[in-house]
Amino acid sequence: KSKGNTVEADPLIEKYGADTVRGFILFAAPPEKELEWNDKGIEGISRFLGRVERFVDSSVPQTAGAGNFEPEKLPKALKAYYVMLNKTIKKVKEDVEKDFHFNTAIAALMEYMNYLYAFTPAEAERAEYNALLKRAVESVVLLLAPFTPHSCEELWQKLGNKKSIFLASL
């Protein structure tokens, strides 16, 4: 503070919301390093959170009434989708629980969102895909919740869950 190198959070929270500011702070640097403030970075997190919200919104109609799936019976492309989901879950959990590397956990979620957006299932696999998509979307929201709790609580409700996201588990 004495060097005048602080960033006032209130205007940023008013403009982007508390979750976006929190997400940026956690993404911008590992806990043991100083944070180099960058306005473009906060805009990037804002875009990412918007992408997650749009993906959840577009997934809700597809996943409504989706059944279960058996991982060992999934077709090859959907098995790869399932493996990618589990790798992401493992990476985020390890980064958070073991190393407190929130920045790399958020980066893993960003990479996984890119994968989800790019994935196109075969029409014959639609029912299995919808069930797997439901699991993937719920997992992304659950994994993102510690970083952006307010946004994820809203997304959790959009997914049809009645109880708080913080009472759920992977």
**What's the pLDDT tens digit per position in 139-160?**
999 999 999 999 999 999 999 9
- Confidence bin at 110 (pLDDT 50/70/90): very high
**What's the pLDDT tens digit per position in 39-95?**
788 999 999 999 999 999 999 999 988 889 999 999 999 999 999 999 999 999 999
The whole-model pTM stands at: 0.90
Residue pair 59/72 in contact by the 8 Å Cβ criterion = no
Half-sphere exposure of 112 (CA within 13 A, CB side): 29
